[in-house]
Amino acid sequence: MEYNGDLNEIESHIVPVDAILPPELFLIPIKSRPVFPGIITPLIVPGGKFAKAVENSLNGNSFIGLVLLIDEEHEKNTEENIYSFGVVAKILKKVNLPDGAVNILINTVRRFKVESFVAVDPLLVAGVTYPEEESGAPKNTIKAMMRTLLVMTRELAQNNPLFTEEMKLTMLNVNEPGKMADFVCSILNIEKAEYQSVIESINLKDRIEKVLLFLKKEIELVSLQREIQENIQEKIDKQQRQFFLREQLKAIQSELGLKEDKYEKKYEKFLERLKSIPADPEVIEEVEREMDKFLYTDQNTADYNVIRNYLDILESLPWEPAPSRDMDLDKAKKTLDRDHYKLDDVKERILEFLAVKKLKPAEKGSILLLVGPPGVGKTSIAKSIAESMGRKFFRFSVGGMRDEAEIKGHRRTYIGSMPGKIITALRITKEKDSVLLLDEIDKLGIGMQGDPAAALLEVLDPEQNKSFRDHYLDLPFDLSSIFFIATANTLDGISRILLDRMEVIHLSGYITDEKVQIFSKHLWKKILEKNGLDQYGLQMDKNAIVTMIDHYSRESGVRGLEKQTDKLARKIALQIVKGEKYPKAIRASDLEGFLGVPKYTDDRMTKPTVPGTALGLAWTSVGGATLLIEAVFIKGKGGILLTGMIGKSMEESSNIALSYIKNFLGSEELFADKTIHLHVPDGATPKDGPSAGITMATAILSLALGKRIKLGYGMTGELTLTGEVLAIGGLREKVVAAKRVGIHKIIFPNDNKPQLDEIPDYVKKGMEFFPVSRFQDVVRLLFDEKSAALNREPKGSPAAKKGLKKRVQAKKARRK
């Protein structure tokens, strides 16, 4: 049938799609990249409420709104996680998928803006507006920008193999500037936020400018990618050419008898060296076997480099016996005295070792363990030992080490395998009798790859390390000439079996006088040189040094003192550079201006000034310390409440102390309706050990009697239920800690007298020591003896029975 009417009448009845766009849309959030207007494309909508939104849309006007998610990983409500601008699309066709999702064919029409949400549950429905596109520039400007866009897009299409012919054809057929900008942006690989910025660009000029910028970046990226591919291809061609030339060279060398190269000569010299030593036959045989494999292995295979690395490591090791050395004990003593103040017992042990080496050069290596708090000079002592012996020194830390292969190496079957730390150290020092320092040996760990401490057992045993086998070498190597030195802060973290192989030397903390000497002789000069102040003639008087030690660095070592001195030097350096006036002679009054408010301003926590307090002496991994133990009565049902991060042993000591004092006073009623709260200040620091027993008992007794103990005393000792005072450890560290805070009267177990004799006289100078065997001796020292209750022994104790027997005998004698 033909229609003979007027065509204008038909056109007047055609309604533009823009005119039928609904004011409300079902919103479908999409990820990664938007679908730009003017594109027909399939879209898969997951099952659930968004698939239901598609069904509802088809039952209505068939339009849906596509909006980008802001954060794909975020789990907040969808309405809070979408951009406000999106693209409206007409659903042309729908296909249901087996998993509940739907595959729809859509035709995107134009941009919209979300003005409000009509509904958010169960379906997301928004009220929208459709902004009109703005030119933003004259027609000629838009036309010029359009041409530029076409030229750059064609350039990208030519250099990018991912462009299909269909894309190129579409690009040529799009004439409208806005649609052209949208199409070009849709084929670029840019960030989601950049896509969204184009969607939100209603101004045509701004939109084309953004797309031109993104297009320029894409062209540069494609150009760079092409350049990289060309370089890779050139390298591949070059490698192939070198391979063929190398094969030709091998053939020519074989014909002329010139097959030998520099590595072969090197390894042959090494083999001659082993035979001249002579080395272990097993080593020589293995080197010969590896050399044969090396000669017949292609250089381009992985095995070639594995064999060469293995032979290189063997060649770099010191297989020769340790050289004979002339031991000069006077020189060694001067070296040790020059670098370290005091530490006489350590120096004496080193000189003893050197004397034995002088009398018997064939004597094998020794293992020393230097134990002490941080900053007392353990590592520097090891360096001085190496220098005094004329040996090479190598240090490596084993703290935190969890892999056995760090000590014994990896097997050659693994990729990237290498020898252990011991063999590596000898490769560097190239001497068989080097001094090796195993730092922080108390901090070894146990991991999934084995126990490094167990691996060290073979290394440190003189009977076993004569034929030590590293897993990588798999050959016997003599370690018995090495002088091993280990350092640790405490013995607690070291395996007992490993500790049995080492000779332990304890380094206690320094007292104030020692720190003053160390500062004057070593530290001050070192800090001035470090900060470039050695030419300015700076001096510090003794009073200032003592003030710095007492008020800014009371720790056992001198590392804190070094840090404070370094801080002081930096402040002076700043004054010099600024041209300000600075003190050439630093006095105690200047320190607060440079170092701030003193850290330690008083000693009130070292004076038991009220009943229920007593001062104990403790040993820690960072040196000695003082503990002011406090006790008070609180309402309760008896017993004892403990605070202050007290460990298991200390908790048991407190219960023993309470039981003893109850028996000592012979009065259960006093404690019947009261609980004793016992606290050890500095509650954030863990504390443990039995040596606070007599201190706790003294604090409880002082509380029960309501009497303050005599001032100036510090005490340490383990208490038993019968009142015996047992020996403790770390006496020197505790004495040093007491002297550091001004305590000069020390109560200690009588069984520790031999340890007291070992403490140098200059440390004990000005101090009084009171050995005790029973708690009754402590009471007589600390309390006023007017009270008869304090002069008796607890009922049932051996001493009480003995006293009762004497009184009975005396009474019988008087009757006769």
Q: What is the pLDDT of residue 54?
A: 87
Asked, for residue 462, whether it belongs to a domain, the answer is: yes
Asked, for residue 150, whether it belongs to a domain, the answer is: no
Over residues 178-188, mean pLDDT: 83
**806 pLDDT more than 90:** no
Question: Quick one: 624 and 765 in the same domain?
Answer: yes
**9 pLDDT more than 70:** no
Asked, for residue 797, whether it belongs to a domain, the answer is: no
Residue 766, number of CB atoms within 10 A of its CB: 8
Question: Quick one: 697 and 782 in the same domain?
Answer: yes
**5 pLDDT more than 60:** no
Q: Partners of 397 in the beta sheet?
A: 439
**258 pLDDT more than 80:** no
Question: Quick one: 474 and 365 in the same domain?
Answer: yes
**456 pLDDT more than 60:** yes
Residues 346-375 pLDDT 10s: 788 878 877 887 787 766 656 888 988 888
- Looking at the chain, the whole-number percentage of residues with pLDDT higher than 90 is 16
Q: What is the pLDDT of residue 613?
A: 92
CB-count burial class (<10 Å; 0-12, 13-18, 19+) for 300: exposed
CA distance 33 to 69: 9
- Which range is least confidently modeled, 5-14, 397-406, 671-680? 5-14
Residue 132, number of CB atoms within 10 A of its CB: 9
Known catalytic membership, residue 556: no
377 annotated to bind ligand: yes
Asked, for residue 10, whether it belongs to a domain, the answer is: no
Q: What is the pLDDT of residue 345?
A: 75
Over residues 2-22, mean pLDDT: 57
CA distance 453 to 814: 71
- Which range is least confidently modeled, 86-100, 137-151, 447-461, 576-590? 447-461
Question: Quick one: 451 and 565 in the same domain?
Answer: no
Complete edge-to-edge strand list for the sheet that includes strand 674-679: 640-643, 674-679, 623-635, 613-620, 713-715, 745-749, 768-772
Which one-letter amino acid corresponds to residue 324? S
Which has more confidence, 622 or 671? 671
Asked, for residue 781, whether it belongs to a domain, the answer is: yes
Question: Quick one: 474 and 547 in the same domain?
Answer: no
Question: Quick one: 556 and 630 in the same domain?
Answer: no
647 annotated to bind ligand: no
User: Confidence band (pLDDT; 50, 70, 90) for 748?
Assistant: very high
Question: Quick one: 268 and 349 in the same domain?
Answer: no
Asked, for residue 219, whether it belongs to a domain, the answer is: no
Question: Quick one: 492 and 358 in the same domain?
Answer: yes
Q: What is the pLDDT of residue 250?
A: 65
552-555 CB contacts, 8 Å cutoff, 24+ apart: 552/591, 552/595, 552/598, 552/599, 552/600, 553/599, 554/599, 554/600, 554/740, 554/741, 555/373, 555/374, 555/375, 555/509, 555/622, 555/623
374 annotated to bind ligand: yes
Residues 384-401 pLDDT 10s: 888 888 889 999 888 888
- From 455, 476, 506, the end of a domain falls on 506
User: Confidence band (pLDDT; 50, 70, 90) for 380?
Assistant: confident
User: Confidence band (pLDDT; 50, 70, 90) for 257?
Assistant: low
Residues 415-447 pLDDT 10s: 778 898 999 999 999 988 889 999 988 888 776
Question: Quick one: 472 and 579 in the same domain?
Answer: no
Q: What is the mean pLDDT of the chain?
A: 82
Cα-Cα-Cα-Cα dihedral sign, residues 710, 715, 717, 719:
positive
Judge whether 626 and 737 are in contact, CB under 8 Å. Answer: yes
373 annotated to bind ligand: yes
- The CATH number of the domain where 460 resides is what? 3.40.50.300
CA distance 776 to 540: 49
State phi, psi for 675 to the nearest 5 degrees: -105, 140
Over residues 704-711, mean pLDDT: 89
260: left (phi over 0), alpha (psi -120 to 50) or beta: beta
- The CATH number of the domain where 568 resides is what? 1.10.8.60
Residues 6+ away with beta carbon under 8 Å from 464: 457, 458
Q: What is the pLDDT of residue 2?
A: 45
- Which range is least confidently modeled, 242-246, 664-668, 708-712? 242-246
Q: What is the pLDDT of residue 3?
A: 44
Vertex 333: Cα angle to 327 and 335 (nearest 5): 95
Known catalytic membership, residue 691: yes
Asked, for residue 29, whether it belongs to a domain, the answer is: yes
Helical (H) or strand (E) element with 737: helix 731-740
Helix (H, G, I), strand (E, B), or coil: what is residue 772? strand
Q: What is the pLDDT of residue 673?
A: 81
User: Confidence band (pLDDT; 50, 70, 90) for 605?
Assistant: low
375 annotated to bind ligand: yes
Question: Quick one: 557 and 487 in the same domain?
Answer: no
Residues 73-87 pLDDT 10s: 775 677 888 888 999
Question: Quick one: 589 and 649 in the same domain?
Answer: no
- From 254, 285, 316, the end of a domain falls on 316
User: Confidence band (pLDDT; 50, 70, 90) for 623?
Assistant: low
Q: What is the pLDDT of residue 222?
A: 83
Asked, for residue 166, whether it belongs to a domain, the answer is: no
For the CA atoms of the chain, what is the radius of gyration? 44
Helical (H) or strand (E) element with 351: helix 344-359
Question: Quick one: 384 and 446 in the same domain?
Answer: yes
Catalytic residue of the set 691, 702, 739, 797: 691
Residues 755-791 pLDDT 10s: 888 888 888 888 999 999 999 999 999 987 654 345 5
Judge whether 582 and 572 are in contact, CB under 8 Å. Answer: yes
526 annotated to bind ligand: no
Q: What is the pLDDT of residue 559?
A: 87
- Looking at the chain, the whole-number percentage of residues with pLDDT higher than 70 is 87
Q: What is the pLDDT of residue 787?
A: 45
The closest alpha carbon to 594, from 540, 526, 631, belongs to 540
Give the number of domains in the chain: 5
- From 487, 506, 525, the end of a domain falls on 506
376 annotated to bind ligand: yes
CA distance 191 to 340: 64
**7 pLDDT more than 50:** no
- The CATH number of the domain where 60 resides is what? 2.30.130.40
- Which range is least confidently modeled, 22-31, 265-274, 296-305, 575-584? 296-305
Catalytic residue of the set 90, 515, 734, 739: 734
Cα-Cα-Cα-Cα dihedral sign, residues 696, 701, 706, 710:
negative
Predicted TM-score of the model (pTM)? 0.59
Parent domain of 308: 262-316
